[in-house]
């Protein structure tokens, strides 16, 4: 593992706490403040047969290493006809919700979804965080692993047994018949809360957690839309050219005749992330915004 302050101090969010004392400074490496150096060193380690896990403290800092990630990490295997293997993981804290301001709160997953050669994962709960990370490390692929920082305090059951959650496999969280809600990351929990609120009014919403944005598993979404006829996409990133646009496009291409109403999207506003907690709540797809859109869609 390598990254800023991940060693003796255990990382800014304490995700790596205890690893330095157990495995030592040769395996848990504190790096200089240089995202380019962190990703470049990880790439070199991967090419030499190691399996590095690099941490970029905030997802907002990934653009500082964009040349390494997009032009080197994503393309080494392709350029070598598969002879050079790039098995590595880049972990990063993503998203808004705790008032860290516009340069420490962005959701940039779509940047990397758009880049052939990269895998992109984003868990919504502790069980998936463990299972997806284990799969990412073992995949032999370059994986961007976005951890919604608002979920770090979340508690949930995690098995002590070996449990791998495969990359590229969506999960149906709640079954329903009146509409389909598709989300990923922290937005899944917003969607589940909305579904619970709708249930109190006699409306049945099916909630699907994508879990990985590439590979993108839409078969459960297609099946659900065939059943409900209505699709609501909830995403924490900016909606314009966000990952929800790809989901909407593919559903429209494959299941247009199953839709009984136009697809709706609820996303972050097209704005830098506000620092103010009140403005940030309005900026994000909060439960009230999702609920209102779901009600309109269900009634349509």
Q: Same domain, yes or no, for 147 and 175?
A: no
Q: Same domain, yes or no, for 40 and 122?
A: yes
Q: Same domain, yes or no, for 269 and 228?
A: yes
pLDDT of residue 149: 97
Q: Same domain, yes or no, for 137 and 189?
A: no
Could you give the number of structural domains in the chain? 2
Annotated catalytic residue within 40, 42, 61, 104: 104
Mean pLDDT of 168-189: 97
Q: Same domain, yes or no, for 184 and 48?
A: no
Lowest model confidence (mean pLDDT) among 69-73, 85-89, 159-163, 242-246: 159-163
pTM of this structure: 0.96
- pLDDT tens string 22-37: 999 999 999 999 999 9
Whether 152 contacts 13, CB under 8 Å: yes
| 160 part of a folded domain | no
DSSP string across 18-66: THHHHH-TTTSEE--S-HHHHHHHHHHHHHTT---EEEEEEGGGGGGGH
Beta bridge partners of 206: 180
Q: Same domain, yes or no, for 147 and 235?
A: no
- pLDDT tens string 133-150: 999 999 999 999 999 999
Q: Same domain, yes or no, for 175 and 295?
A: yes
pLDDT of residue 61: 97
Mean pLDDT of 209-232: 98
Q: Same domain, yes or no, for 139 and 185?
A: no
Q: How far is CA 98 from CA 156, 160, 226, in A?
A: 20, 30, 37
Convert 59-77 to b/e letters by CB count within 10 Å (16 or more is b): bbbbebbbebbbebbbbbb
Is 104 considered catalytic here? yes
| 142 part of a folded domain | yes
| 157 part of a folded domain | no
Tell me which residue of 180, 250, 177, 179 sits closest to 213, measured CA to CA. 250
Q: Same domain, yes or no, for 44 and 85?
A: yes
- Report residue 299's pLDDT band, with 50, 70 and 90 as the boundaries: confident
| Residue 145 backbone phi and psi in degrees, to 5 | -115, 100
Beta bridge partners of 183: 209, 234
Q: What is the mean pLDDT of the chain?
A: 96
Question: 279: exposed, middle or buried (C-beta count within 10 Å: 0-12, 13-18, 19+)?
Answer: middle
Mean pLDDT of 277-285: 95
| 70 part of a folded domain | yes
Is a pLDDT exceeding 90 seen at residue 208?
yes
Q: Reduced to 3 states, what is the DSSP secondary structure of residue 219?
A: helix
pLDDT of residue 300: 74
Q: Same domain, yes or no, for 293 and 176?
A: yes
- Report residue 294's pLDDT band, with 50, 70 and 90 as the boundaries: very high
- Residue range of the domain that includes 137: 2-151
Tell me which residue of 251, 133, 125, 129 sits closest to 191, measured CA to CA. 125
Q: Same domain, yes or no, for 144 and 202?
A: no
pLDDT of residue 143: 98
pLDDT of residue 58: 97
Strands (E), 45-167: 53-58, 88-94, 119-121, 142-148
Which of 92, 117, 151 is the endpoint of a domain? 151
- pLDDT tens string 103-121: 999 999 999 999 999 999 9
Q: Same domain, yes or no, for 189 and 230?
A: yes
Q: Reduced to 3 states, what is the DSSP secondary structure of residue 86?
A: coil
Looking up residue 69, the CATH number of its domain turns out to be 3.40.50.970
Looking up residue 191, the CATH number of its domain turns out to be 3.40.50.920
């Amino acid at each position: 593992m390598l990254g800023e302050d991940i060693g003796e101090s255990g990382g800014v969010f304490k995700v790596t706490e205890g690893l330095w004392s157990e495995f030592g400074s040769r395996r848990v490496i504190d790096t200089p403040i240089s995202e380019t150096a962190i990703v470049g060193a990880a790439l070199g380690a991967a090419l030499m047969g190691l399996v590095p896990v690099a941490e970029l403290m905030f997802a907002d800092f990934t653009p500082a290493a964009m040349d390494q990630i997009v032009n080197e990490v994503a393309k080494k295997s392709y350029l070598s006809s598969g002879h050079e293997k790039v098995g590595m993981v880049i972990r990063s804290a993503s998203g808004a919700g705790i008032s860290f301001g516009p340069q420490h709160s962005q959701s940039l997953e779509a940047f990397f979804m758009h880049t052939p050669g990269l895998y992109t994962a984003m868990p919504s709960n502790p069980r998936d965080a463990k299972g997806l990370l284990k799969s990412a490390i073992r995949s032999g692929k370059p994986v961007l692993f976005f951890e919604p920082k608002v979920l770090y305090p979340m508690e949930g059951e995690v098995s002590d047994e070996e449990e791998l959650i495969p990359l590229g496999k969506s999960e149906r969280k709640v079954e329903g018949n009146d509409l389909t809600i598709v989300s990923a990351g922290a937005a899944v929990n917003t969607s589940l809360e909305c579904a619970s609120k709708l249930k109190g009014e006699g409306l049945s919403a099916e909630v699907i957690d994508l879990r990985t944005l590439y590979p993108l598993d839409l078969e459960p979404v297609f099946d659900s839309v065939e059943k409900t006829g209505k699709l609501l996409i909830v995403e924490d990133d900016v909606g314009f050219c966000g990952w929800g646009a790809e989901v909407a496009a593919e559903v429209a291409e494959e299941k247009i005749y199953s839709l009984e109403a136009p697809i709706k999207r609820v996303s972050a506003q097209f704005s830098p992330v506000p620092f103010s907690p009140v403005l940030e709540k309005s900026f994000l797809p909060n439960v009230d915004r999702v609920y209102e859109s779901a009600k309109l869609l269900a009634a349509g």
